[in-house]
Amino acid sequence: MAVEYETRRTSLLVKSAMFAGLAVLGAAFGYLAAQFADLEAHAIGWDDSLAFAIAFGLLTIAGLSGVTMIVRPSAVLPGCGLLQIAVFALAGLMFLAPMVVPATVPPVWVFAGIVAAFALQTVANVIVWRRADEMLRQLMTDTSTIAFWGLQSAFFLYAAAERLDLIAPVSAWGMAGILMAVYLVSSIVPSVRRGIA
């Protein structure tokens, strides 16, 4: 009996083209962000660079999810499409805002905006969890477990090294970037295991 396989495989050529496209997008994003950010007034450290990379990644995922929703609606989890796009987009904007917006807006207003975006994102996250089916919930749980285990181990080792004056302190902004980066990388493992990524 011929059984229809509905999961399309992406060819290496298409994947390469996608990576090249993302590289061009990343370069454009970096250039534009540098135009808006007051680079001469603020030294850009590794923590800002990491936050820029994460913001770009999150906004790109949001954009690609939007395109997927239009082109291949069956690939989007039912009831979660727009909400997931909102979650990624808001996270990207929240990472970008503290570095880009202060050049034109008072910091207190930027922070108020970030708090509002955070509240919105939390609501969207809760709704995604409630609408998700059992496998998506399992994915979220697995991701959180891997991220927590990795972060708490790394945090303890870092704290011990800092207490011994072996390494320089890391800013809270840097830690927030590391936390998000570890979470995003952690999400790849269960997604690949379940055939989502």
Partner 1 sequence: MNNHLRTLRADRNWSQADLAAALGVSRQTVNALETGRYDPSLPLAFKIARVFERPIESIFSDEGA
Which single residue is written with the structure tokens 């939007």?
Answer: 66
Tell which residue, 90, 78, 77, 75, has the closest CA to residue 123: 90
Choose, by CB under 8 A, the member of 35, 71, 166, 195 that binds partner 1.
195
d(C-alpha 87, C-alpha 117), whole Å: 10
Choose, by CB under 8 A, the member of 14, 34, 126, 135 that binds partner 1.
135
Indicate the residue among 142 and 183 with the shorter CB distance to partner 1: 142
- Shortest distance, position 103 Cβ to partner 1, whole Å: 42
Tell which residue, 125, 135, 133, 121, has the closest CA to residue 93: 121
What residues numbered 4-23 form the site for partner 1, per CB under 8 A?
A: 4, 6-7
Which single residue is written with the structure tokens 């809270």?
Answer: 172
Are the C-beta atoms of 78 and 51 separated by less than 8 Å?
A: no
- Shortest distance, position 188 Cβ to partner 1, whole Å: 15
Indicate the residue among 62 and 80 with the shorter CB distance to partner 1: 80
- Shortest distance, position 23 Cβ to partner 1, whole Å: 28
By rule CB under 8 A, what string of x and - marks binding of each residue 67-96 to partner 1? -------xx-xx------------------
User: In this structure, what DSSP letter does residue 69 have?
Assistant: H
- Shortest distance, position 144 Cβ to partner 1, whole Å: 17
Crossing angle (nearest 10°) for helices 81-100 and 12-36: 40
Indicate the residue among 77 and 181 with the shorter CB distance to partner 1: 77
